[in-house]
């Protein structure tokens, strides 16, 4: 399926009829579009699965359509309140994944012009409540691909700047490296009309509001995050994949990053990260063979702390001790000490 989870297909999606499948969340992780990193984060899969399920169930209570069917226990998909213990397998409705055609160093999305329903929308939608130092926005501002006015700002932002209102951003989903595009290009890419695009943006803002509410009670600030959508068999928007997790979102706690951004912080400035950045400048599609070095594993102390972070987050979201780990605030204190060394 991908670098961090696997897919078991129980019933294939065909035409306008949804299929059924199971995501198996692994302890693998990925940063900087590299794919599977050399080590694993213990219990990350179960923690991500439970956190995402929590948010899917909250969205359904608010009338937002998702592909979530439940967490698998004893071979049956159950809601989280019915589970005896945390699981790493989520049952979901499946849609078709239609790959764009690669033409040289670019992608052709013309196939979407004739597709009407039951397919993954090949976009990732980002919401931004602030611009933390690691945000891709700063790189794009330096390169000139966006201007402060595009963010609704009068001048260049500072790292950590909180935005007066949420900013929405969009990138490709099915390319080798995510590529930020304009909303008009996104609409044309997917064959969507203006009303559908506006509805998708409205839903993203509602999701952002909900995540703000849920995580603020944990003492976290919701910096930014991403979501993905599909059209169901009736061409209604449906949230898919995962949401509200430490992989999909970037949170902070008194300025400390609370997400897989912690791993990015460790790897930034390494020879491997520099090589990946250079390779992406040389090739937009097939850049990985150009990377001369390989990433080293995380230091054991940091890997353990990140593992506890994922688990503590899932515990405190649900208000249930799914995992035997210290409280979130205690784990964050330990991470702060490690990164400060």
Q: Does pTM surpass 0.85? A: yes
Region of residue 20 (phi > 0: left; psi between -120 and 50: alpha; otherwise: beta): beta
Kindly report the average pLDDT of the chain as a whole number.
93
| Residue 96 pLDDT > 90 | yes
Separation CA 87–CA 117 (nearest Å): 31
Query: In this predicted model, what pLDDT tens digit does every residue of 242-261 receive, in sequence order?
Result: 999 999 999 999 888 898 88
* 140 in Cβ contact with 170 (< 8 Å): no
Q: How many CA atoms lie within 13 A of 220 on its CB side?
A: 27
- For the residues 129-144, what does the mean pLDDT come to? 88
Query: In this predicted model, what pLDDT tens digit does every residue of 27-70 receive, in sequence order?
Result: 999 988 888 899 999 999 999 999 999 999 999 999 999 999 99
Query: In this predicted model, what pLDDT tens digit does every residue of 143-161 receive, in sequence order?
Result: 888 888 877 788 899 988 9
Q: Which CATH architecture has domain 5-339?
A: 2-Layer Sandwich (3.30)
Eight-state DSSP code of residue 100: P
- For the residues 117-133, what does the mean pLDDT come to? 94
Residue 23: closest CA among 75, 72, 86, 74: 72
* 228 in Cβ contact with 307 (< 8 Å): no
| Residue 307 pLDDT > 80 | yes
- For the residues 111-121, what does the mean pLDDT come to? 95
């Amino acid at each position: 399926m991908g670098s961090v989870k696997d897919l078991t297909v129980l019933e294939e999606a065909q035409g306008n009829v949804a299929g059924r499948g199971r995501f198996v969340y692994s302890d693998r992780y990925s940063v900087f579009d590299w794919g599977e990193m050399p080590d694993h984060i213990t219990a990350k899969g179960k923690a991500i699965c439970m956190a995402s399920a929590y948010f899917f169930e909250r969205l359904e209570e608010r009338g937002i359509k998702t592909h979530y069917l439940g967490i698998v226990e004893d071979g049956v998909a159950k809601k989280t309140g019915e589970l005896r213990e945390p699981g790493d397998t989520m049952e979901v409705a499946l849609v078709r994944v239609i790959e764009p055609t690669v033409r040289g160093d670019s992608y052709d999305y013309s196939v979407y012009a004739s597709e009407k329903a039951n397919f993954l929308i090949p976009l990732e939608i980002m919401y931004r409540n602030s611009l933390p130092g690691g945000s891709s926005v700063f790189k794009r501002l330096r390169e000139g691909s966006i201007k402060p006015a595009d963010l609704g700002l009068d001048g260049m932002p500072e790292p950590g700047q909180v935005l007066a209102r949420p900013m929405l951003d969009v990138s490709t989903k099915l390319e080798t490296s995510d590529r930020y595009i304009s909303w008009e290009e996104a609409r044309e890419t997917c064959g969507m009309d203006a009303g559908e695009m506006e509805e998708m943006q409205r839903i993203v803002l509602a999701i952002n509001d909900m995540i703000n509410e849920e995580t603020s009670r944990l003492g976290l600030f919701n910096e930014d995050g991403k979501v993905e959508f599909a059209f169901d068999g009736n061409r209604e928007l449906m949230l898919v994949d995962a949401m509200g997790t430490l992989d999909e979102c970037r949170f902070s706690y008194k300025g400390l990053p609370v997400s897989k951004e912690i791993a990015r912080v460790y790897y930034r400035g390494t020879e491997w990260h520099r090589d990946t950045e250079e390779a992406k400048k040389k090739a937009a599609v097939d850049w990985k063979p150009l990377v001369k070095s390989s990433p080293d594993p995380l230091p054991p102390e940091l890997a353990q702390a990140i593992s506890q972070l994922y688990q503590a987050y899932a515990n405190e979201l649900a208000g249930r001790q799914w995992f035997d780990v210290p409280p979130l605030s205690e784990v964050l204190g330990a991470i702060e000490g490690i990164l400060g060394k």
